[in-house]
Amino acid sequence: MNENVERILFTEEQLKYRVREMAEEINNYYNGEAVTVISVLKGSVVFAVDLIKQLNMPVSLDFICASSYGSGTISSGKLIIKKDVELEIEGQNILLLEDIIDTGETLHEIIKMLKGRGTKSIATAMMFNKPARRKKAVQADFIGFDIPDEFVVGYGLDYDEQYRNLPYLGVLKRSVYEE
């Protein structure tokens, strides 16, 4: 285990097993209809790679890099798009992939923006859900695991761009980010 990880929440095996179950749910949901999978950079890349190998419908893959910001008390509802999707998404079934939903602000804004482009449908799949800090009710169609309100790393999730490569999900030691 990495020296900065306090404890493991889900092992590589548990994550792999759950992704397989989610893929089955998603395959049943789309029933062979073509899907454009949009992976939200960078955190969901590891999840996306594991998931799409198990999908059995025609799949195209694209990426978006965005962050939301609110100014303290006022939720501005602004989205900064650092990298937009490249595929034409009008009339497409969109499956949006996120690593973790925390306050829900980012996903809320991304969904709103994509809907404005005339997509046929939008569904969301998130590997981890942290319901404790939710500010915006967001559409969550497929959820891997609910997790407690702790800072987690691994399986694509970073602290200061590190630890994305850990194959498990772990709680980061407080000493790493405090002081």
Interaction site with Mg ion (CB under 5 A): 158
Which is nearer to Mg ion, 46 or 89 (by Cβ)?
A: 46
Does residue 100 interact with ligand XMP by CB under 6 A? Answer: yes
Does residue 144 interact with ligand XMP by CB under 6 A? Answer: no
Locate 62 and state its tokens: 């694209």
Strands in 152-153's sheet, in edge-to-edge order, are 5-10, 169-172, 152-153
Which is nearer to Mg ion, 29 or 173 (by Cβ)?
A: 173
Instruction: Check 62, 84, 102, 158 and give the catalytic one.
Output: 102
Give the C-alpha distances (Å, rounded to integers) separating 22 from 4, 26, 83, 126, 163. Answer: 29, 6, 27, 10, 24
- State in angstroms the smallest separation of the CB of 113 from ligand XMP: 14
Locate 75 and state its tokens: 């939720």
- State in angstroms the smallest separation of the CB of 130 from ligand XMP: 6
| Cβ neighbourhood burial of 10 (10 Å; 0-12, 13-18, 19+) | buried
- State in angstroms the smallest separation of the CB of 163 from ligand XMP: 8
Residues in contact with ligand XMP, counted by CB under 6 A, come to a total of 18
Active site annotation includes 102: yes
Does residue 15 interact with ligand XMP by CB under 6 A? Answer: no
SS3 label, residue 9: strand
Distance, in Å, from the CA atom of 6 to the CA atom of 57, rounded to the nearest integer, reads: 39
Which is nearer to ligand XMP, 29 or 151 (by Cβ)?
A: 151
Can you give the binding site for ligand XMP, defined by CB under 6 A?
43, 68, 99-107, 130, 151-153, 157-159
